[in-house]
Chain A
Amino acid sequence: MFRFSSLPPLSLYVHLPWCVRKCPYCDFNSHALRDELPQNEYVAALLRDLEHDLPRVWGRTVHSVFLGGGTPSLFDPEHIDRLLSGIRARLPLAPLAEITLEANPGTAELERFRAFREAGVNRLSIGIQSFDDAKLSALGRIHGSTEALKAARAARDAGFDNFNLDLMFGLPGQTLSQALSDINTAIGAAPTHLSVYQLTIEPNTRFASNPPANLPGDDTLWDMQQAIQRLLAASGYHQYEVSAYAQPGRECSHNLNYWRFGDYLGIGAGAHAKLTDPSGIARQWKQKHPAAYLAAAGTKDAIGGESRLTRNQAVGEFMMNALRLTTGFDKSLFDERTGLPIGQIVSQLEIAQSRGLIEEDVVHLRPTSLGQRYLNDLVPLFL
């Protein structure tokens, strides 16, 4: 039996699935835009969808909102404004709730960013990936280094005191110094947060069926990662998760909520929700295809599927998330979020400790640097 002493914090994820073009490495639910963006209809659908979900979170305060994609910045600020107002009207938002919008470099950033800010967005996350033209084109990005630089600067100029840049390393043909040069350029734009991902070839992507040539080898990738960690630490960005670095106090609250196994509502095509109730933890996801979603939003037909976690799955998923955090978690959080006593993973914890993958004291548990490095050897102990 699950036993929850309290409900976890609640976040809201909003999915805006369209991109100008689908990148060959991307395995998210994104769709190349063929006709005109159905902004009006989609925002209306999102609000209908939200309304349908409301009874599941009645009375709960929302601590963060994340508009992700796809490329949400394709939506005009007035529609984002309408969306955020609609959300506020339906859900109680915490006073300082973090509201992030994902943006890709393009044209006329400054004005647009200002307008997003006026609509209530208080954090931007910009998909830069690289500042190197050759690498950007290898990644199939539609922007070049000039647009990338301009977008990074525009965020601050538009008044955002909190923004993230997404970067990648391990790109085709990339050398260590090229990777570091990208990071240095990013630091120059003074973001409060950096997400630095190693390029991963995911199944069912164009890169999976047609892998790029001369990807850096394991040794180079490891050298890159270590050098990037050192450079970012020296520049005031501390690593708090596998790929996330922030200035003090600027960690992304929305993502932290995922990693601490908090609850979230998901609206939009293919959006996932995780909600705790007294009898357990439920996952639910919406219809993946935009057209199907648009047609069904606001009814139960918009639901693509749902499942309730078994106890083992709850334990596994908690550990899979919480061990991504470099500082680990308080043991009380395990009981609180899984509804299960941490006592039931004692033997696995012992194995993990004997292999030097975790360290713990009475109240706290964290992955060692070895555990962080071999997280995929550590997590399966709990699956």
Chain B
Amino acid sequence: MSGWNPRNIRNFSIIAHIDHGKSTLADRFIEHCGALERREMQAQVLDSMDIERERGITIKAQSVALDYRARDSQVYRLNMIDTPGHVDFSYEVSRSLTACEGALLVVDASQGVQAQTVANCYTASELNLEILPVLNKIDLPAADADRVISEIEDIIGIPAHDAVRASAKTGVGIADILESIVQRIPAPKGDTGAPLKALIIDSWFDNYLGTVSLVRVIDGVLRPKEKVRLMATGRDYQVDEIGVFTPKRRPVDELAVGEVGYVIAGIKDVRSARVGDTITHTNRPAEKPLPGFKEIKPRVFAGLYPVDAQDYESFRDALGKLQLNDASLHFEPETSQALGFGFRCGFLGMLHMEIIQERLEREYGLNLITTAPTVIYEVVTTKGEILQIENPAKLPEAAAIEEFREPIIRATILVPQDYVGDVIGLCVEKRGIQRNMIYHGRQAIITYELPLNEVVLDFFDRLKSVSRGYASLDYDFLEFRTTDLVKLDVLINGDKVDALSIIVHRDQAQYRGRELAAKLRELIPRQMYDVAIQAAIGSKVIARETVKALRKNVTAKCYGGDITRKRKLLERQKEGKKRMKQFGSVEIPQEAFLAVLRVDGK
């Protein structure tokens, strides 16, 4: 079944901060429209990946087609397009929003507006989407609708006096939201007779189906068995199946103007069907692709190493499998003197990195050491070459570097005014340059230019702690900028441990070096010999610490009855040491490799 008149289609996204109840709300819509029996409702249908469900965030966009009988007795096709809810995935968000004519701005009535929401709302406004504010969790005792309404009006700048007051938990206001979607969000426009243009909102890999792409038809009509072209790569494919998610997968005969659905076309990997690309017909192609397509580049890099060298092969397989479904994950083999064979992986951001790491450990049972995350640097050598450096170990000698450039982001921080001072202090410590500051009632929006490498270290955690969890952050990449950077090395008993090298600003090198050496002293257990820890820039040692040797390590008593117990105790200790890396005669625990991350500010 198909052939929806565009007048009866409404395409919308939900913009919400993590925990503000987006998924629960989506569940209520599905329930209200009778798409699933109650018994089929798995709490939060939309976030189907385990990690997504646990963290309450959406990583991959998905969509649901709902048939809603409105108060005017007509049936409308509501396409709800889910968007990722985290700063790392801002490009995906913009593509999801492009596919819509409207968006629900869901704000927790007890917590108010957060930076992520603001950034996504701005994107939605720029794309001319109709934004419908919804106050969720209105049933909570701490809900303060009036305050949140004026916050929405002040900060985001849209009228909110008639915002629907709802509770996804109790079901209050659900019908009103659906009705206002029909009333206020414009119907899609497009030319059915024009050459096909379908926007890829998301692609994922399914073991049985191959690559599945979620698309929004802008112009023309798409049918099964047709030959289509992906305009970014110019490659042609035969469409095997098209359909919609209700949320169950249901094939249809056509997807026409304004419709949202999936396309399966024998595409081998998700890289070939990239988010933002345009699908057209091979025999009657569109003149120009849809605007806005970008190649997404990883911005954060880290070395990942199997603790047990024997896991290398299965590690590579696991990365390959994850990549099938995640075009933004990059990896290439890397060798470290300290950690052996592993991979340098590129991620969109810190959350993306954490998610990948967690999936590797949880779904593939791997035990991994992750080096401190780093960003990509540009180095101009004295010979005039421009190098992209994603691993501090690959940095040329200081003498061969003419110019050192680091990536700068523009960060938008939303914070209650009580914490403004602390947030500014943090930004200054992180070498930020203030660009703007606006007060809206109790809230301030602060815009800073910050070096990305400072942000990947511990900025999120610090921001949360200085603002008691109230500050929220959004950022986008600005430019590469020349800075006075140096490589800080760590030497253990005189030998450089490549995996512990970091690139830091010269002004901070001294402090970082001292902190890092002190942190390592705490983390490296006492062993048979003294362990000397040094932090150095080039050949100049700027900090040193010593882990004093154990004076002895022997069990005082061992007789007939305790042998098994004492053996097991030693076996357990040995098992624990397996998680350490032997470096010369020194055993370094995994945590040490993350110590660079946790060098606290004063």
Contacts and interface: CB of A to CB of B under 8 A. Distances in A.
Cβ-closest 4 pairs across A and B: A222-B551, A272-B561, A375-B554, A376-B553
A313 B567 contact: yes
A224 to B, nearest CB: 10
Nearest to A313: B567
Interface stretch (A107-115, A132-140, A314-322): A314-322
A376 B554 contact: yes
Interface in A358-383: 370, 372-377, 379-380, 383
Contact of B567 (A225, A320, A324, A377): A320
Interface string B543-570: 0000000111111111111011011001
Interface in B524-583: 527-528, 550-561, 563-564, 566-567, 570-571, 573-574, 577
A41 interface: no
A355 B566 CA distance: 23
B573 A380 contact: yes
Given A320-B566, A374-B528, A258 B559 contact: yes
Interface string A254-293: 0100100000101000111010000000010100000000
Contact of A317 (B556, B559, B563, B574): B563
Interface residues of A, number: 41
A313 B565 CA distance: 12
Given A317-B563, A374-B528, A383-B567, A242 B555 contact: yes
B559 to A, nearest CB: 6
A67 to B, nearest CB: 13
Interface in A209-249: 218-219, 221-222, 225, 242-243
A141 to B, nearest CB: 17
Contact of A221 (B551, B563, B574): B551
A377 B574 CA distance: 9
A272 B567 contact: no
B552 A243 contact: no
Given A13-B560, A271-B561, A376-B555, A317 B567 contact: yes
A101 B562 CA distance: 19
B558 A316 contact: no
A197 interface: yes
28 contacts: A28-B561, A29-B561, A200-B555, A200-B557, A221-B551, A221-B552, A242-B555, A258-B558, A258-B559, A258-B563, A270-B561, A272-B560, A313-B567, A316-B567, A316-B571, A320-B558, A320-B563, A320-B567, A320-B570, A321-B558, A324-B558, A370-B528, A373-B552, A374-B553, A375-B554, A376-B554, A376-B573, A379-B570
Interface of A: 13, 28-29, 197-198, 200, 218-219, 221-222, 225, 242-243, 255, 258, 264, 266, 270-272, 274, 283, 285, 307, 313, 316-317, 320-321, 324, 355, 370, 372-377, 379-380, 383
Contacts of A255: 559
Interface in B412-453: none
Contacts of A28: 561
Contact of B554 (A218, A374, A380): A374
A330 B518 CA distance: 46
Nearest to A222: B551
A372 to B, nearest CB: 7
Contacts of B556: 197-198, 200, 242-243
Interface of B: 527-528, 550-561, 563-564, 566-567, 570-571, 573-574, 577, 585
Contacts of A221: 551-552
A380 B585 CA distance: 15
Given A197-B556, A258-B559, A380-B570, A283 B528 contact: no
Given A197-B556, A285-B561, A313-B567, 8 more contacts: A29-B561, A225-B552, A243-B556, A266-B561, A374-B553, A374-B554, A375-B553, A383-B574
Centre residue among B552, B564, B573 by max chain A CB count within 10 A: B552
B565 to A, nearest CB: 9
Contacts of B557: 197, 200, 243
Centre residue among B554, B566, B574 by max chain A CB count within 10 A: B554
Given A380-B573, A383-B571, A372 B554 contact: yes
Contacts of B555: 200, 242, 375-376
Contacts of B563: 258, 272, 274, 317, 320-321
B432 to A, nearest CB: 45
A284 B571 CA distance: 20
A242 B554 CA distance: 8
A64 to B, nearest CB: 11
Contacts of A285: 561
A13 B577 CA distance: 35
A367 B261 CA distance: 73
Contacts of A218: 550-551
Contacts of B566: 320
A28 B528 CA distance: 30
A373 B554 contact: yes
A379 B573 CA distance: 12
A383 B560 contact: no
Contacts of A274: 560, 563
A266 B560 contact: yes
Contact of A264 (B560, B571, B573): B560
Contact of A377 (B528, B551, B561): B528
Centre residue among B527, B528, B560, B573 by max chain A CB count within 10 A: B560
Nearest to A219: B551
Contacts of A264: 560
A313 B560 CA distance: 15
A307 B571 CA distance: 17
A379 B560 CA distance: 17
B587 to A, nearest CB: 10
A222 B552 contact: yes
A19 B412 CA distance: 70
A383 B570 contact: yes
Nearest to A28: B561
Contacts of B558: 242, 258, 320-321, 324
A312 to B, nearest CB: 10
A264 B560 CA distance: 8
A45 to B, nearest CB: 18
A39 B560 CA distance: 24
Contacts of A316: 567, 571
Contacts of B571: 316, 380, 383
A258 B559 CA distance: 6
